[in-house]
A and B are shown apart, each in its own frame.
Chain A
Amino acid sequence: MATILLRAAFAGYLGGTLAFLGYLATRRHGLAKIGLGLSVAALAVHTASYGTDCAVYRAMVIVTPRGMCSLLAFVTAALTLAIAARHRLLILGAFIMPIVAILAGVAVAAPEPGTPAVVLQGPLFPLHVWTTYLGFAGFTVAFGVAVAWLVQEREIRSRHPKPLAFVLPPLDTIERLSLSLVNHALLLTGAGIVTGVLYLKQTDGVWWAWEPKATATVACWGIYAAVPVLRRTAGWRGRRLALLLVAGFVFVVFIFGGLSHLPGPLKPGPR
């Protein structure tokens, strides 16, 4: 049942993506509304798939390629829709929902889990998972926002801006939004790393195991931590900042694409 619901959610995300891209191309407001409606529906179905997971396994399946991509798609979609609604920036859907659709597509294509490798139990492990994933979702949305900045900047710099330039948000607004996203995501991912370390100590008795995913996550955090630091110390803004966010996202892709098949250091805790 969970698989069927996940497929339905993927279809919804894909439909939402196409509608948002249509809005980007034609700037017909109706398409943005359709994109929003389809994405919200997909998110609801995705939530239901987690409900089914919980009913079957009494846990959310997360530490498999399918689980990781599905959860990142879920959290990113929720964050994107919340930001789009709050800031009235539906156009951002065209830059972020394609990533959500790809993540959901990878989750659908990945093999189904037998029994969950890791279950959310105890206070520390769920905290670790949610903070880390919310942080990664923040980085993912910041990537989409940075791409929107690069597109808008290119349009304005061209001296012959197409109508798209008058629909995309102002450069200053996009930059502020991306910085706010990175700052919040840094806090959340930082909290995720700390809780992960504490959980490892609790289950394995060691603070650090040099496991590839955890190590890559710390490196990724370091890249994003450079964003506020370079902005304050070296006055990095605009294009440089946007490119740094794009580079940081390459690391996120590496963690979720290249390392997701590797087993993590975290084992199920005592039931």
Chain B
Amino acid sequence: MGLLCLGLSHRTAPLAVRERLALSRDEIAEAAAMVRRLSGIDEAVVVSTCNRIELYIAGAGRAAGPAEPPGVAWRRTVGAVVRLLAKARRVPAGVLARSSYVHADLDAVRHLIEVAAGLDSQVVGEAQILPQVRRAHEASLRAGATGPVLNGVFNRALAAAKRVRTETEIGRLPASVSSVAVDLAERIFGELAGRTVLLIGTGETAELVAENLVGDSDLMVLVASERHHEAARRIAHRFGGEAIELAAVPAALARVDIVIAATAVKEPVILRAHLAAAMAHRKARPIFLVDLGVPRNIEAGAGDVAGVYLYDLDDLKGVADGNLKRREEWIAPARRIAEAEVAATGAWLATLEVVPVIRDLERFGEACRQAVLARAGRRVRDLPPETREEVEYLTKALVAKLLHPPIRNLKDLPGPGRYADLVRRLFGFQ
């Protein structure tokens, strides 16, 4: 049984090709089932994100004849998959072949672990890829397109990716302006559920940060705007909040926990004096202000007030850039963890290879036992029932005892696949 990864990503294919091939959540299950139906493929999982589309397949490869080497069979399989994809997504097969990469066996395992851990992502260590890989596997599982090999490989790869994220800082440090803002809010307030957010401005930036901030949390959102009151109402409605006038912002500071300011104004909307007054009413409850406006929406000195945490665009960008550099420093330790997990998965795959041989050996032993008993004929049949049971027990024990050392060594010796082949030849198994 071989393992193959065929894919293309932001490293090998331009956006124009990737977008033609991108599959929705529903389509990935269908695609996996379709690939699974190709000759020589026993299992298939399709991973599709905005930056990559990858097929993980397990099987013997599409061989033209029994004596054909596995490499040739796999090349034929890859060709068939590429043609299938090209036809289904209307992309020239030549373009697909030029933009794609192939990883076989342990290289495929290594690639999957690196993908799941975010080591192969455009932004190293990004967090979204891990659930995307998990969902891809689950979709294939539901579609009946996967089996013991890919289930084991994916479960191990997901566990390895989690280990990488736990034991390194590759994904711990936020690396984009909006994620830094959200993470800092969490560092101040802990759980964000039940907090109140004030959005100043109705632009795309303010809405995007609010989107990141709200996520699954139960946040109360207030939206303030000077001119675009209708837009403010729309955004407030979207987040289940309320729209207020810009003039009401200073008074609102006493009741909100987080302020995202991203509006185009010439003078600051929030002054130090506003915050000093608000803090007197807040009984030292902290407030977190994110100023994304240029020119700034919040007076620079406002951050000096006790209990006020103020970050502007440059601050957030500085933190994000610093964190991104630090993430890159963790790539080497992360790869070491991935390599250890590749070795462990390789050992597991090797034991998987000997399972059919072990079953054949056990069947062979049982067949020999039955043949000997049949040859004994009446000498055994005429025995009293208790003695016959005793003979049954003894012959079974003898076969088990004889098969125990080869079976144990098949599992334990390094390179079990090699010995499996030897056993097949020695005993004449197919």
Contacts and interface: CB of A to CB of B under 8 A. Distances in A.
B190 interface: yes
Interface in B164-207: 166-169, 172-174, 183-184, 186-191
Given A156-B187, A170-B189, A239 B306 contact: yes
A159 B310 CA distance: 7
Interface in B300-358: 303, 306-307, 309-311, 315, 318-319, 322-323, 326
B135 interface: no
B413 interface: no
B285 to A, nearest CB: 7
A166 B173 contact: yes
Interface string A146-164: 0000001000110111010
B123 interface: no
Given A160-B318, A160-B319, A161-B319, A166 B172 contact: yes
Interface residues of A, number: 26
Contacts of A27: 169, 172
Interface string A234-245: 011111100000
Contacts of B307: 237-238
A156 B318 CA distance: 13
Contact of A172 (B167, B169, B190, B315): B190
Nearest to A168: B187
B166 to A, nearest CB: 6
Nearest to B185: A170
A29 interface: yes
Given A156-B187, A165-B187, A171-B188, A237 B318 contact: no
Interface string B287-309: 00000000000000001001101
Interface centre among A29, A157, A161, A240 (most CB of B within 10 A): A161
Give the size range of B's interface with the partner: 20 to 34
B323 A163 contact: yes
Contacts of A173: 190
Given A156-B188, A235-B284, A236-B284, A29 B311 contact: no
Contacts of B283: 235, 237
B365 interface: no
Given A27-B169, A237-B283, A237-B284, A166 B183 contact: yes
Nearest to B326: A163
Given A29-B167, A173-B190, A167 B172 contact: yes
Nearest to B314: A159
A166 B187 contact: yes
B169 A163 contact: yes
B250 interface: no
Contact of A171 (B183, B187, B323): B187
Interface of B: 166-169, 172-174, 183-184, 186-191, 283-286, 303, 306-307, 309-311, 315, 318-319, 322-323, 326
8 contacts: A27-B169, A156-B309, A159-B311, A161-B319, A167-B172, A169-B190, A171-B286, A240-B284
